[in-house]
Amino acid sequence: MHKKSFLPGILILILIVFIGNWVLGKMIARNVETHIVKVLKAVNPDINIRIDDIGVNPICSKVELYGLVLTAINDREIATCTQVEIDMPITESFRLLKSKGFDEFKDFTWNMNDLMFHVQEANQVHIDELVLDFEGHLSRESLKVINKTFPSEKQYFNLDAKNIYMSNAPWVGALGLTDDQEEQFSQLDHLMIDVAFNPQNKEFIWKDLQCDSPLLSAESQGSLTYKSDGLKGMAPLLSTSTVDVKLNEDGVKWGNSETTGRISLDNLEMQVKSSVSYEDSVPLIKSHSSQVLLENLTLEYTGQKKAMMEAKTALLGLKMDQLNVSLLKLQSTIKDNKMVVENSMFKSSLFNAEINALIHLNPLKYRESNIVESQLVVSNLIASIQNGLSTFEFMTGQALPRKGNDIVLELNGSLSKPKIKGLMY
């Protein structure tokens, strides 16, 4: 009996909460729109915004915007978005209800679907899904004094975008791409930026930068410390970074052999690590390492383009139907102002080369760095290049240093004007 009398009370309570949530949501929705307009006008007073509908659910801490359109003064569309979902704490919802304008930013997550930017009249950037995640606190007052003083709170920002495509990209025409190639060069499958700002340590950190496309994948991490309490007079002190780039398994091909030349590349890998300090904003390399591996780069010409290129290289007697670099391998390190290049080589259809070097760097004037020792070995030259070098030797009266059929050049002295052992110039 008591259970039956208790049930209507629960139903009434649920109905009151539901109606109250709906009414409160409508009230907050009006403030949200006002808030968005105020923020936008603070950023750029020449931009207008139109929102078809706003839904707010205070209990679930969600705000949904539908049919967003940003326009310039001449009604030219700048950006459109089908749906934006904003997650924010319930306390932030009540703050917005009381707010009459833009006062501060606090923690939020924005999920945007079907986003379109109109870069130029013929260029558009389309993003299937974009998530912006912010943790921190930015107020109107803190932004007013940011030139003198940074906000005291830690700030975290994450951007995660999927399926980014640019139509009519300006570089497409210059590369002479086919429709399939254009799609590869104009698309990003995934872009992620994860950064943090720590004013107490005066440090800016990019925890992770990732970029994946049909052509390659890239990733980077790093940090930057600085001096100054605000933007004015801000100068770097120390930066550290790592960068990894890798071409996708299928390689890449672009261009037309009869017009621009057809280029194909099977593999590219690059790893770079560096630490740089700054004295009066002058960069000084503390440590650095880099590795580059390139495999099977081919350049092919046919028809009139082939004839034109061979006419330009007639003195060398080169055949331009196909040029190939089968291997490019570079390895270098820098530590204590000493640069070491080792196990670096180049193999091609024209010639092969190997280089090893030790260089003492002048961190303030790199052109005045000193080559302690360096050896460049050139081998497997094609006949036309050998003939060209023979002509050079005859005209200068000097023979290039050789070991068997290989040309061996030993270099030392100033980096800006090195000396080659056995040659006068």
Question: With a cut of 50, which residues of the chain have pLDDT below it?
Answer: 1, 97
The CB-side HSE value for 25 (13 A sphere, CA atoms) comes to: 19
pLDDT value, residue 281? 75
For residue 269, the number of C-alpha atoms closer than 13 Å in the C-beta half-sphere is 8
pLDDT single digits (tens) 24-36: 555 666 666 777 7
**Cα–Cα separations (whole angstroms), residue 243 to 187, 290, 339:** 21, 9, 19
At residue 109, the pLDDT reads 86
pTM of the model: 0.80
pLDDT of residue 93: 56
pLDDT at 293: 97
Confidence at residue 1, expressed as pLDDT on a 0 to 100 scale: 47
- Given this model, what pLDDT does residue 406 score? 95
pLDDT at 203: 95
